[in-house]
Amino acid sequence: MEKAQKEELRLKIELEIKSTKEKITEYKEFTKPIAPENAIGRVSRMDAINNKSIMEAAQRKAEEKLDQLLKMEERVDHLDFGVCARCKNDIPIGRLLLVPQSRFCVHCAGRN
Hey, where are the domains in the chain? 3-109
Q: What angle do CA 41, 45, 49 make, to 5 degrees?
A: 175
| Model confidence band, residue 50 (pLDDT cutoffs 50, 70, 90) | confident
Question: DSSP letter string over 30-88?
Answer: HTS-----SSS-HHHHHHHHHHHHHHHHHHHHHHHHHHHHHHHHHHTTSTTTTB-TTT-
Using an 8 Å Cβ cutoff, are 6 and 95 in contact?
no
pLDDT at 108: 92
| Highest CATH level, class, for 3-109 | mainly alpha
- Report the SS3 class of residue 90: strand
* Mean pLDDT along residues 80-92: 93
Query: Which of 7-21, 37-51, 64-78, 79-93 has the least mean pLDDT?
Result: 37-51
Tens of pLDDT along 18-40? 999 999 999 998 888 766 664 56
